[in-house]
Chain A
Amino acid sequence: MALPRITSPHAKGSNRTQQVMLQVLLATVPGILALTWLFGAGTLYNLALASLFAITFEALILVARQRPVGFFLKDYSALVTAVLLGLALPPYAPWWLTLVAVGFAIVFGKQLYGGLGQNPFNPAMLGYVVVLISFPVEMTSWPAPHSVGALDGLKQVLGIAALPDGWAQATALDALKVNNSLTMDELRAANPAFGHFGGAGSEAVNLAFLAGGLYLLHKRIFSWHAPVGMLAALAVMSLLFWNGSGSDSNGSPLFHLLTGATMLGAFFIVTDPVSGATSNRGRLVFGIGVGVLVYVIRAWGGYPDAVAFAVLLMNLAAPTIDYYTRPRSYGHRKPNSGFKLGE
């Protein structure tokens, strides 16, 4: 009897990084659709500009670093950074804002550290924070839902004609932060930025990102540890410090879970395999740290939303987390603690 003999490896040969990145891009689609439904074409403009800039910057810096351009462009990591930035920046952001954010993310955040896999910080969040602290006015101008036309928006993006005053409104997190006189019910009634649980519409956006994230989880692109850690920590913190719905309210747990960048952060940012912790236990700690910091900054810090800052701070802590959460290796009763010299 002749048995078919096929030599190993049996796995399909593929560029794994490219596959992962493509899956991540695919998983952002529900979020993109939700954002587009909510704010009009602004998100699409952001995505198009960010992708264009990212590919250009990546190609230029690869040439300058004398690395093969085509090979590294094909791993799509620059595109993922661009898409995450395009989703995080306010819709109808002026083109130069996107340029600065993407430039910093790709050139300073990733390539100057040595390219994909060497960057200690999440490039997209680095670019976001750079523009957030440099251009606070532009970065806090989120349009009111369903208010800006595609053509007017395009003119705003290109800097040809500004949108009429009042096109931007405070987000729900903003409104909650500056509120000190209205109870939650009054605030909800007075401010169109609030929806049923979280921000108006942004709860739908968050649910869409949650759907995309669950798809990635199903595909085993990342493990559950980091996102669950972050969401659980945020929920626990907001439950612990939930002081009812008076005028000094910090917001309910559901509000925090479904507002701002929570779900985008939990499934697309915290799960970054490069800048996060490496072991499963470490990822859990990393996620919890991000969740706690997000709540601390939202409730008591100077900025309305905090995912980017929280992620960057925990990126700094990731090597320490790795140091203390080394897994036990086979044949040893206890994990090797500490690193040997020259390792």
Chain B
Amino acid sequence: MSSYREITLNGLWKNNPALVQLLGLCPLLGVSNSTVNALGLALASAVVLVCSNTAVSLVRGVVNTAVRLPAFVMIIAALTTCIELLMQAFTYELYQILGIFIPLITTNCVILGRADGFAAKNAPARAAYDGLMMGIGFGIVLVLIGAARELLGTGALLANMHLLFGPMAADWQLTLVSDYKGFLLAILPPGAFIVLGLLIAGKNRIDQVLAERAKAAAPEAPAQSRRVRVTGVIE
């Protein structure tokens, strides 16, 4: 039984679905060409993840092990349909831009992975919290990649945020480099792979430095020279 602190750490860093488990790469690489697309899909995925974890946890005692995967997928598909209809209703333009990737949330391995790996073995509150943390962990990486690609590709950030937040966000765009030529490669699919690779490398490097620091900070274990007695009877 993992503590809430552990669940948080797992979702956001140690077992991050995008950087460590490398799950859900298809949407991660497919729609991360701008911040607004990335944020839209991140929110949708996170909502589905929380709801599906809760639902799966609730039915975990009732569902037969043999049919658990189809049952989980049905739950996830139903929730994804809800999200899809909601996006159609409130953020129609974004819904059209994200296109096939919204229904594809159903097949996102992160969601099924958490449903089977965590929610099916834990109480609803814990499962929902795990879904939230995994969703945030996935979302942060998605938005980071989206922002990096948008910045490299167009020289601006937060363009078209009104698709998600309505008219009040129309002038949120930050043009960091005016007269920017546009680095097309970053917007094209190779850009997604390169940025994700660099993020993973960065995370591994941070882990490495932290491990070295912890090793240096830990007090030296006292030299033990106790001999192990291998013969005779110890009384």
Residues of A that sit less than 8 Å from B by CB: 96, 100, 108, 130, 133-136, 138
Contacts and interface: CB of A to CB of B under 8 A. Distances in A.
A133 B194 contact: no
Contact of B184 (A96, A108, A134): A134
Contacts of B181: 96, 135, 138
A134 B183 contact: yes
A133 B189 CA distance: 12
Contact of B194 (A108, A135, A136, A138): A108
Interface residues of B, number: 8
Main secondary structure of the interface of A (DSSP, over half): helix
Interface in B179-220: 181-186, 188, 194
A278 B194 CA distance: 28
Given A134-B185, A135-B183, A136-B184, 4 more contacts: A108-B194, A130-B185, A134-B182, A138-B181
10 contacts: A96-B181, A100-B183, A108-B194, A130-B185, A134-B183, A134-B184, A135-B181, A135-B183, A135-B184, A136-B184
A138 B194 CA distance: 23
A136 B194 CA distance: 20
A62 to B, nearest CB: 17
A96 B186 CA distance: 16
List the 8 closest pairs (A to B, CB-CB), nearest first.
Answer: A134-B184, A134-B185, A134-B183, A130-B185, A133-B184, A133-B185, A135-B181, A133-B188
B52 to A, nearest CB: 37
Interface in B116-158: none
Nearest to A137: B181
Contacts of A96: 181
A265 to B, nearest CB: 22
A135 B184 CA distance: 7
A228 B188 CA distance: 35
Contacts of B183: 100, 134-135
Interface string B68-106: 000000000000000000000000000000000000000
A96 B184 CA distance: 15
A134 B184 CA distance: 4
A67 to B, nearest CB: 16
Contacts of A133: 184-185, 188
Contacts of B185: 130, 133-134
Contacts of B182: 134
Contacts of A130: 185
A130 B183 CA distance: 9
Contacts of B186: 134
A81 to B, nearest CB: 19
Contacts of A108: 194
A21 B188 CA distance: 34
Nearest to B184: A134
B189 to A, nearest CB: 11
B198 to A, nearest CB: 9
A133 B184 CA distance: 7
* Residue with the highest number of chain B CB atoms closer than 10 Å, among A130, A134, A136, A138: A134
Contacts of B184: 133-136
A259 B112 CA distance: 55
Contacts of A136: 184
A94 B21 CA distance: 42
A158 B92 CA distance: 46
A124 to B, nearest CB: 17
Contacts of A135: 181, 183-184
A134 B186 CA distance: 8
B82 to A, nearest CB: 39
A100 B184 CA distance: 12
Nearest to B194: A108
Nearest to A100: B183
B149 to A, nearest CB: 13
